[in-house]
Amino acid sequence: MTSLIKRNLKIFLRDRASVFFSFLAIFIIIGLYVLFLGNNIASSFKEMLGDNSRFIADSWVMAGILSVTSITTTLGAFGIMVEDRSNKILKDFLSAPITRSQISTGYIISSFLIGIIMSLISLVVAEIYIFANGGEFLGLLSLIKLLGVMLLSVFAGSSMVFFMVTFFKSSNAFSSVSTVTGTLIGFLTGIYIPIGNLPSTVQTAIKIFPISHAAALFRQIMMEEPMAESFANAPAEVSESFEQFMGVTFYFGNHELSPLINIIVLAATGAVFLLLGIISMSVKKKS
């Protein structure tokens, strides 16, 4: 199984096209933010947030990008499994002295590792971008928290993608779904527009999408310092209203979801979809 993991990692990292398309949705989001959204978001809150408006806006969108990475990069990594099935390579693996569950585990672990590697790269780029625009680097404790959320986010994202790709047998079908997913993921995580500006039905859809809870946790960590400075002398209600509007915290009715609930959602999502993916793989006939 270790050899299978190494093989998958090498195939993905050597394929520049796979790496590029894994980051394509992220490039699109950054491009839209730099060209259109960044100044608009920062200027709209200039009066409320003062000099920290750009710092907060940059942190908000970069936190969303980190959550998106957990889906897009693992989706690219699982493309290897689809290609192996399409090219009958998976059939060769099944004829070897290795169980179907071990093969599945090899794909899952390699995808998880790729997701972590790409998420770390995204974090470095995000921090450099924020600092270059006048923001500050995260402190050590915040980075540790961020890495913990990143592990959960990639676990949930890779499990969801794993279950999805068990139903694909051709690379063309997988590529089509990957394109659609890369297009929609920014909307499903509430990155393009603050959630408070969206209709209630769309807000609900975002809140029930598991990876959005990773985005909320990333925002809570990355926006904590600039928000503390901006709202230092403001009533608590003002800060809470802003957090709800920007999707830093989620509410169902009048009930605020705590960070613990966000964590439970991610952990449960990862466990459930991982189990469903393994079951889906185990019941398929050898072909």
From CA 163, how far away is CA 225, in angstroms rounded?
A: 37
pLDDT, mean of residues 221-238 = 88
pLDDT, mean of residues 84-112 = 77
Residue 218 vs residue 135, higher pLDDT? 218
In terms of average pLDDT, the best of 46-50, 91-95, 164-168, 260-264 is 260-264
- State the pLDDT at residue 285: 53
Identify the band that residue 93 occupies on the pLDDT scale cut at 50, 70 and 90.
low
Q: Tell me phi and psi for residue 73, to 5 degrees.
A: -75, -40
From CA 221, how far away is CA 248, in angstroms rounded?
A: 9
pLDDT, mean of residues 2-13 = 83
> Do 5 and 109 touch, CB atoms closer than 8 A?
yes
How many angstroms from the chain centroid is the CA of residue 6? Answer: 23
Residue with tokens 């992220």: 26
From CA 46, how far away is CA 54, in angstroms rounded?
A: 8
pLDDT, mean of residues 6-34 = 76
- State the pLDDT at residue 54: 86
Q: Which helix (H) or strand (E) holds 163?
A: helix 140-165
**Whole-prediction pTM value?**
0.90
Identify the band that residue 222 occupies on the pLDDT scale cut at 50, 70 and 90.
very high
Residue 81 vs residue 41, higher pLDDT? 81
Residue 98 vs residue 216, higher pLDDT? 216
- State the pLDDT at residue 287: 45
- Number of Cβ within a 10 Å radius of residue 54: 21
- State the pLDDT at residue 92: 67
Query: pLDDT of 131-146, one tens digit each?
Result: 998 889 999 999 999 9
| Nearest Cα residue to 222 out of 36, 39, 57, 35 | 57
Q: Is residue 96 scored above 70 in pLDDT?
A: no
Mean pLDDT of all residues belonging to the chain:
85
Q: What angle do CA 219, 220, 224 make, to 5 degrees?
A: 105
pLDDT, mean of residues 29-39 = 72
DSSP conformational letter for 256: E
Range of the domain at 206: 2-283
- State the pLDDT at residue 94: 63
Query: pLDDT of 243-273, one tens digit each?
Result: 999 999 999 888 999 999 999 999 999 999 9
From CA 147, how far away is CA 10, in angstroms rounded?
A: 24
Number of structural domains the chain divides into: 1
- State the pLDDT at residue 85: 79
From CA 126, how far away is CA 123, in angstroms rounded?
A: 5
Q: Tell me phi and psi for residue 190, to 5 degrees.
A: 65, 45
Share of the chain above pLDDT 90, in %: 39
Q: Tell me phi and psi for residue 251, to 5 degrees.
A: -125, 140
Q: Tell me phi and psi for residue 253, to 5 degrees.
A: 70, -125
pLDDT, mean of residues 92-120 = 82
User: Helix, strand, coil: what percent of the chain each, to 5?
Assistant: 80, 0, 15
| Nearest Cα residue to 169 out of 262, 258, 89, 263 | 89
